[in-house]
Amino acid sequence: MLKTHNCGELRLAHIDQSVTLCGWVQRVRDKGALLFVDLRDRYGVTQLVAREGETAPELIERIRNLGREFVLQAQGKVVERASKNPEMPTGNIEIELIQLDILNASKTPPFTIEDETDGGEELRMKYRYLDLRRNIVRKNLELRHRLNRETRQYLDSQEFIEVETPVLIKSTPEGARDFVVPSRMNEGQFYALPQSPQTFKQLLMVSGFDRYYQIVKCFRDEDLRADRQPEFTQIDCEMTFVNQEDILNTFEGMIKHLFKTVKDIDLEDFPRMTFADAMKFYGSDKPDIRFEMKFVELNEIAQNKGFKVFDDAQLVAGICAKGCAEYTRKQLDELTDWVKRPQIGAKGLVYVKCNADGTFKSSVDKFFAEEDLKTWATALQAEPGDLLLVLSGDTDKVRKQLGELRLEMGSRLGLRDKNVFSPLWVIDFPLLEWDEDSQRWYAMHHPFTSPKTEDIPLVEAGKLGEVRANAYDMVMNGVELGGGSIRIYQRPMQEKMLSILGFSDEEARNQFGFLMDAFEFGAPPHGGIAFGFDRLCSMFGGADSIRDFIAFPKNNSGRDVMLDSPSAISEEQLKELAIGLRK
Amino acid sequence: MLKTHNCGELRLAHIDQSVTLCGWVQRVRDKGALLFVDLRDRYGVTQLVAREGETAPELIERIRNLGREFVLQAQGKVVERASKNPEMPTGNIEIELIQLDILNASKTPPFTIEDETDGGEELRMKYRYLDLRRNIVRKNLELRHRLNRETRQYLDSQEFIEVETPVLIKSTPEGARDFVVPSRMNEGQFYALPQSPQTFKQLLMVSGFDRYYQIVKCFRDEDLRADRQPEFTQIDCEMTFVNQEDILNTFEGMIKHLFKTVKDIDLEDFPRMTFADAMKFYGSDKPDIRFEMKFVELNEIAQNKGFKVFDDAQLVAGICAKGCAEYTRKQLDELTDWVKRPQIGAKGLVYVKCNADGTFKSSVDKFFAEEDLKTWATALQAEPGDLLLVLSGDTDKVRKQLGELRLEMGSRLGLRDKNVFSPLWVIDFPLLEWDEDSQRWYAMHHPFTSPKTEDIPLVEAGKLGEVRANAYDMVMNGVELGGGSIRIYQRPMQEKMLSILGFSDEEARNQFGFLMDAFEFGAPPHGGIAFGFDRLCSMFGGADSIRDFIAFPKNNSGRDVMLDSPSAISEEQLKELAIGLRK
């Protein structure tokens, strides 16, 4: 080794030892007679010191010529500091320099290598290798490593086996777009990159692997929204001879294990909520239950009082914002504008102030008596000082809009603390959803999800919208961490499902024939779950974006600006692959 | 859970317990009054028993209709067996059936689910999910899991951090062919799949990650030889502030850890051999040193005796095959034919029998006196009863041919025991090799490998063929398990290297600009290694082929015959990607 210790480990116990450190120049301080160099590596920072008159003059000269981010090998003696720095783990000691070699120089970095950097996103991504030098970014990746380790630790303890499934697979048109890979050896044919190892893990269950996991890269060629990446990592799991309850317990256990070991937080048992309740009370299939503010439906008490907007509405529903009765006219106007933005799309906002003196003041005083408003307040369990916010219209839209408003009010009221973690299982998802545009049914989860046994008669009866699936999502703080289902494991049901989803017999055979064949050779009941690992890391890191938990992320156009990729390839390469570019 | 226990865990201690098992029918034995079902899962086999007159008749009827590989849920009482089976871990008990449900039926599998199956390779691959049900195949993947676990265990204990590097990267023409991925969002441009995370791990060192590892899929679009896969898994590692010695010790430690924990074998310290010696004494850069049989060069004693074949040869070299003097004429002819096969390519084979009576008999008695042959025997340390085998010709060819012959004789003499493990470091590889066909230099390892400091003057002097690299391979039993190098970390040397390899300045900048830029911002000295994980698994499993250590391998045409992939994609997909097929 070029060093005897790292830059984070020396303490008073090392006093008088002769040591060699390697690292990067964080800072040089030239006090005239005294020179200090802060030397940094992954493990910490150690102060080097040189003294005019004591240290060799050429060494002092060398220090005076150091720049930020120079790579040094420093040899010296550990001494106790005169003025200690209790903020630094190595703050009790410093190294009296005896020898100093520059292993590599550095140009001035395009941005500062500090937690608070002056570099913008684009610049940081172009020089990602320098961005990764920042403590704050490196710590994210260390957290990711830790979570990866503890995930494996837990799953291993539960007898799961990691099995690697292939990356070069077969393209299937269901779901998002596949990335494809032209095959040189099989001219005119393409592999696809997996959107998930779904069918493979099911085959492993057919093979009797019993408990499978994999922490695995998956790929989706989607138009990228702010926080999506074309390649992402999944914790992918599957179990045999289980029912839904077993899976929920096993993976609730996993998340509890991660919180305990990585953050020393004991999570309580996760509450469960049906999809129907999640939509009814929170307007979302991934409710943020760090705070209450549940929807209350007001149709019975607010309709037929002569307010046409409500009377024509499918749903009138409100939330109670605690302590907001003091909102000014300006604040209420601003909130009304907020819900009317195209992203939310509400037509208007009805408010009721529950004044401290027991009176009520609303934006619909013309239509409702104080007594009416009082019944609303009672329904919404409001107290004097609270503000009621009411939306009306088409049920699905109101729920969505009120859900957004609820989150907004939660944020404004400081109810969404990043250090509070409120997990939740959402269960009993619908099996299918109807798409008006394409006039067909889509699988809400995926085509391999089984209907609830008691709802199978509804499938037979063609009441497809009412069929519930054995599907579940794990939600935390309003974010979906993972989701899964108990699978279909018998050929006739799988055929039926593919037919409902619009597959012809031939298409079904062509794309999923291998899976349906497998179901005929003793397929066991099985089910599983997959967690978005990038998302899980950002949740643990208390961040909104997944990008800083990925070493080399791509931008919103799917580009790696550091590599300048994707890029053109040579005509020769295209020719070998038997493909050409279209104009 | 649909079961209370698995099929491998019940013992006498469970007697009288009521249990529920799930699994597959391995076998049904109908003895008339007694019926037995062997129920199998990943954990073992348990015997179920039903008794005519005791067990419910409809249950007996159900058993009589069971087929192989049916999936059952069986409920019953654990009882002690009358006739125990000491071969089975569960052989002391059986389950007296109370309830039996068929969870899924099975068609008759196309081959038997036994260690020794009647299925051929092609059939087994088409129904890989059934092949994976065989104990012997599943155990290979369990071994793989174990090795994966212990690799992480070791590297973690050494403060390595796993960092995931991207799969969608940039195509570079150096080395093997890339698989490419058309980008829909960046029309006319392509990602490439990584042949290794080489440049990324070097960037992580520039970032100060200090110790990195990843168990990662890599891709090479090569014409596939018997034991190559287009996608394969690598244990990829890199370290900062190290010299070669540190890397050898760290990863020798890793392999020792794996042998100790997975096979309970204590490996001794690995010997080291220069590339030059490996070629001189074994004719291979990956010598199998489970047995001696080193080459001895005979030029000095065998040339200039009037045998033109030897006199014209650049090299005359032989090996000593212990105890083979009794080889018959037929055996020797067969061996001569063997070395003359096109795969070996020798012109002929000279043999000398060192007879038990101290006399010598050779195929070149016309040219050499018994005294000459005796000097050969002495040089080769032969004893009476041994057989000398001698080849001559062009040095490189003779070494290669004699290397093959040595391995063949080693196999024939039973010296290559799969349960003996002889590791070895081969060091001091040449930096460059000259290719006659393309009249240019190629990097023997890769373009990022550094020359030995003491050989840098040879680079300057243009004596490129003599420059040794800081490169090393770990070899075991004649197989390369891994290889790596100390890297270049300064821009001028990297530019020089790329220029030697025929890159124009523009090509170098275009393809590796990001790396050379990174070297200017304080790149530390670093080096690393990568192990072929599939190969490592097959070595531990005592198998020659890697295929049975991969869950879903591809065949020699790069096809997945189970999925029938690669396959055609729709015109619509091609259009979206802005590519077309060539006729």
pLDDT in tens, B17-54: 999 999 999 999 999 999 999 999 999 999 999 999 99
Closest CA to B209 of A1, A363, A137: A137
- Residue A176 is predicted with a pLDDT of 82
Q: Is A571 on the interface with B (CB under 8 A)?
A: no
- Residue B238 is predicted with a pLDDT of 98
What mean pLDDT comes out for the span A422-447? Answer: 95
Worst-scoring range by mean pLDDT, A83-97, A278-292, B168-182? B168-182
Contact (CB<8Å) A208/B179: no
Contact (CB<8Å) B162/A182: no
Contact (CB<8Å) A223/B185: yes
- Residue A227 is predicted with a pLDDT of 79
What pTM was computed for the model? 0.95
DSSP code, position A177: P
In this structure, are residues B425 and B529 in contact, taking their beta carbons and an 8 Å threshold? no
**Rounded to 5, what percent of chain A is helix, strand, coil?**
30, 25, 40
3-state secondary structure B232-251: EEEEEEEEECCCHHHHHHHH
According to DSSP, the residues that pair with B486 across neighbouring strands are: B527
Q: What is the pLDDT of residues A153-165, one digit of tens each?
A: 999 999 999 999 9
Contact (CB<8Å) B490/A180: no
- Residue B228 is predicted with a pLDDT of 87
DSSP code, position A469: B
Contact (CB<8Å) B2/A206: no
Q: What is the pLDDT of residues A43-58, one digit of tens each?
A: 999 999 999 999 999 9
Residue of B nearest to A140 (CA): B163
- Residue A224 is predicted with a pLDDT of 74
Q: Within chain B, which residue ranges are assigned CATH 2.40.50.140?
A: 12-104
In this structure, are residues A522 and A516 in contact, taking their beta carbons and an 8 Å threshold? no
B513 CA: distance to closest CA in chain A (Å): 8
In a mutational test of the B interface, the residue from A213, A218, A569 whose CB has the highest number of chain B CBs within 10 Å is A569
Contact (CB<8Å) A489/B104: yes
CA end-to-end distance (rounded Å), chain A: 55
In this structure, are residues A399 and A297 in contact, taking their beta carbons and an 8 Å threshold? no
Residue A13 has pLDDT above 70, yes or no: yes
CA distance B372 to A39: 69
A447 CA: distance to closest CA in chain B (Å): 18
CA distance B532 to A391: 61
Q: Could you tell me where the beta strands, DSSP code E, fall in A113-256?
A: 161-162, 180-182, 190-192, 211-219, 231-240
Residue of B nearest to A44 (CA): B208
Q: Is A575 on the interface with B (CB under 8 A)?
A: yes
- Residues whose CB falls within 8 Å of the CB of residue B109, separated by 6 or more in sequence, listed in order: A521, B68, B69, B127, B130
Interface list for B 162-201 with A (CB within 8 A): 162-171, 173, 177-186, 188-193, 200
Architecture of domain A291-412: 2-Layer Sandwich (3.30)
**How many Cβ atoms are within 10 Å of A362's Cβ, its own excluded?**
19
Who has greater pLDDT, A117 or A7?
A7
Contact (CB<8Å) A141/B156: no
Helix (H) or strand (E) holding B439: none
What mean pLDDT comes out for the span A73-97? Answer: 97
CA distance B212 to B205: 8
**Range B12-104 has CATH code 1.10.1040.50:** no
pLDDT-flagged residues of chain B (< 70): 173-174, 226
A229 CA: distance to closest CA in chain B (Å): 11
Q: Within chain A, which residue ranges are assigned CATH 3.30.1360.30?
A: 291-412
Closest CA to A483 of A469, A499, A472: A472
In this structure, are residues A559 and B559 in contact, taking their beta carbons and an 8 Å threshold? no
**How many Cβ atoms are within 10 Å of B225's Cβ, its own excluded?**
7
Residue of A nearest to B71 (CA): A522
- Residue A174 is predicted with a pLDDT of 66
Q: Could you tell me where the beta strands, DSSP code E, fall in B67-117?
A: 71-80, 93-104
What mean pLDDT comes out for the span A511-527? Answer: 96
Q: What is the pLDDT of residues B324-370, one digit of tens each?
A: 999 999 999 999 999 999 999 999 999 999 999 999 999 999 999 99
In a mutational test of the B interface, the residue from A151, A181, A507 whose CB has the highest number of chain B CBs within 10 Å is A181
Q: What is the pLDDT of residues A295-332, one digit of tens each?
A: 999 999 999 999 999 999 999 999 999 999 999 999 99
- In terms of phi and psi (left: phi > 0; alpha: psi -120 to 50; beta: otherwise), the region of B426 is beta
Percentage with pLDDT > 70 across chain A: 99
Q: What is the pLDDT of residues A173-190, one digit of tens each?
A: 667 899 999 999 999 999
- Residue A406 is predicted with a pLDDT of 98
Structure tokens at B372: 């000459």
Closest CA to A428 of A291, A248, A255, A270: A248
Q: What is the pLDDT of residues B336-345, one digit of tens each?
A: 999 999 999 9
Contact (CB<8Å) B567/A43: no
